[in-house]
Structure 1
Amino acid sequence: MTTLVRLEIVRTLRNRKYLLFSVLYPALMYFFFINAYGTGKLAGGLPVKTYFMVSMATFGAVGSVLTGSAQRISLERKSGWTRQLRLTALPGRAYTVAKIAAGAVTTLPAILVVFAVGASQGVRLDAGQWAGLAAALWLGSFVFAALGVAFGYAAAPDSVQTIVMIAYMAMALFGGTWFPVTGTLEKIARFNPVYLYNQLAAFTRPGHSLDLVAVAGLAGFLVVFTAAATALYRRDTRQA
């Protein structure tokens, strides 16, 4: 399993599309949003630059792991690679865990690059907040890694990219990635894993601490998505 994780990470980091769309694109979008919204503060006292630093970091992380995992798995299914892996001693559960772990590791560059850009633009957090925020967003990305694996086995190889992109953009749109959600929309957004993911940064706001409701919600989504990924992998095994 360790070997598979290492190979998956190396393959992803060598992918130029990954570097462009998951690492550089969110950083460029960050500049767009801070210029569009100005340099003031949003409701709750959170500076615009801090809010969009977090939302673009989560945007890059979710995009990296969700689309990357689903597309790689769909291609492996189409080429017969997963069928070959089943002939090895690697258990199905270990394969699923390896895919999730490898996907989550590749979210770190997307997060750290946007953080570096945010710091260069004047975002000020203490050392503990920077470390805590990076850890929270990285751990939260495991949820979407599991969802990406599930999508990879749920959808047909020819349609997986379209399905993932629609789901990804819908979750981002109503999850506070492009703009703060308030009122009725916020109540609905609490059932959206992307909204909960963005809420992990709540402790950076004046007078706030870590949102334990968001943590619990994401933990629940992780269990559900991992179980779904495992079940779909087994279904694919029976159909092979």
Structure 2
Amino acid sequence: MNPAQGAPRPGPGPAPSERPSLIPYLLCELRTTILRADTIIFIVVIPLGMYLLFGTMASYSDVDAGRGNVNAVIMINMAAFSAAMAATTVAGSSAVELAGGWGRQMGLTPGGMRAYYLVKSAAGVLLSLVPTTLLFGAGAIMGARCDTPLVWINSFLGCLLPTIPFSLYGLAIGMWFPSQGAVGTAAASVTVWAFLSNIFMPLSGALLTIARYTPLYGAATLAQRPIMGDVINTATGVVHESPWIQVTNLVAWTLIIAAVCLLSRRRATARR
């Protein structure tokens, strides 16, 4: 070796563009969120209480409905609602963090704001498993009936569909609303969408037409399909509806809310 070249350099370290794992950040986010009192109230206590009130104490809970009974249908509706609430509440908490300057801190990390949004969305999806599992467990104990194990499994998976658009919905609320009221606004708005999506009570006429254009309708009715098929309960009877209406609703709202999140990315690092 030519002495002029100097001593050999040490082996190459990690590439400058290499990004750290997001798993520890995700686990920390889940642990912190689960321990919050408002999280337990919004995503566990309220949906479980509503299921026990309307699904198990009503005289009609044992009446046959599709491939199960009314009790199971109410259980599925409440589970879909709780999944949407969980995803929205977790992602909506970003408003408090961004107002405190966490967005600017994340902007300086290798992962940047993209990693922050990814972790928030993933935490919302994973946390929604908690109330969904609790509600299905309560349903199995309290008389919810599905004809086959496959209906149970498909219904459980269907109840997780609302987490797709509503994790993004929570992020959008968090980025556009003041931090003091973001979580409450997000939770209240999900309850309104649930009322307008034929979840809490059967709708009909103009209200049912409006329901088909609301963010929760597609995901909630797709969750019911394993047990109800193409039947939709309304205030004046039942109607048969193509799954493409529900799929289109779910995809369209997911894309719309994702576009809103992309448009508001610059607000995350701006001083409020």
Q: Same fold (TM over 0.5)?
A: yes
Structure 2 residue aligned with 1:17: 38
Which whole-Å CA distance do the structure 2 matches of 1:14 and 1:168 have between them? Answer: 22
Amino acid aligned to 1:111: T
Which whole-Å CA distance do the structure 2 matches of 1:183 and 1:203 have between them? Answer: 25
Structure 2 residue aligned with 1:202: 225
Structure 1 residue aligned with 2:189: 167
Offset, 1:91: 3.1
> Taking CA–CA contacts closer than 8 Å with sequence separation of 6 or more, which of the two structures ends up with the larger relative contact order?
1
Offset, 1:45: 8.2
> 5+ residue gaps in structure 1?
none
Which whole-Å CA distance do the structure 2 matches of 1:231 and 1:165 have between them? Answer: 22
Offset, 1:161: 3.5
Q: Deviations over 1:13-39 (max 9, x none)?
A: 222332333123311211111224632
Alignment pair present for 1:153 and 2:167: no
Contact 1:174 1:185 in 2 (8 A): yes
Deviation larger for 149-158 or 38-47: 38-47
Q: Deviations over 1:35-62 (max 9, x none)?
A: 2463254887863212210111122112
Structure 2 residue aligned with 1:227: 259
Amino acid aligned to 1:237: T
* Equivalent residue for 1:180, pick from 202, 223, 226: 202
Amino acid aligned to 1:11: T
Which whole-Å CA distance do the structure 2 matches of 1:146 and 1:19 have between them? Answer: 20
Alignment pair present for 1:118 and 2:139: yes
Offset, 1:119: 1.4
Amino acid aligned to 1:184: A
Contact 1:18 1:64 in 2 (8 A): yes
Q: Which has the higher strand share?
A: 2
Contact 1:22 1:61 in 2 (8 A): yes
Which whole-Å CA distance do the structure 2 matches of 1:7 and 1:183 have between them? Answer: 46
Structure 1 residue aligned with 2:122: 101
Which whole-Å CA distance do the structure 2 matches of 1:121 and 1:67 have between them? Answer: 27
Runs (4+) of structure 1 exceeding 6 A deviation are 42-46, 207-210
Aligned CA distance change for structure 1 residues 210 and 183 (closer, same or farther; 3 Å) = closer
Identity of aligned residues (%): 25
Which whole-Å CA distance do the structure 2 matches of 1:226 and 1:142 have between them? Answer: 10
Which whole-Å CA distance do the structure 2 matches of 1:37 and 1:69 have between them? Answer: 38
Contact 1:55 1:176 in 2 (8 A): no
Deviation larger for 80-89 or 34-43: 34-43
Amino acid aligned to 1:20: I
Alignment pair present for 1:74 and 2:100: no
Amino acid aligned to 1:50: A
SS of alignment partner, residue 192 of structure 1: coil
Deviation larger for 47-56 or 165-174: 165-174
Which whole-Å CA distance do the structure 2 matches of 1:180 and 1:20 have between them? Answer: 25
Q: Deviations over 1:71-93 (max 9, x none)?
A: x2111022222221111111333
Q: Which has the higher helix share?
A: 1
Which whole-Å CA distance do the structure 2 matches of 1:166 and 1:130 have between them? Answer: 29
TM-score normalised by L of structure 1: 0.87
Alignment pair present for 1:90 and 2:122: no
SS of alignment partner, residue 159 of structure 2: helix
Aligned length: 239
* Structure having the higher Rg: 2
Contact 1:202 1:210 in 2 (8 A): no
Which whole-Å CA distance do the structure 2 matches of 1:13 and 1:239 have between them? Answer: 29
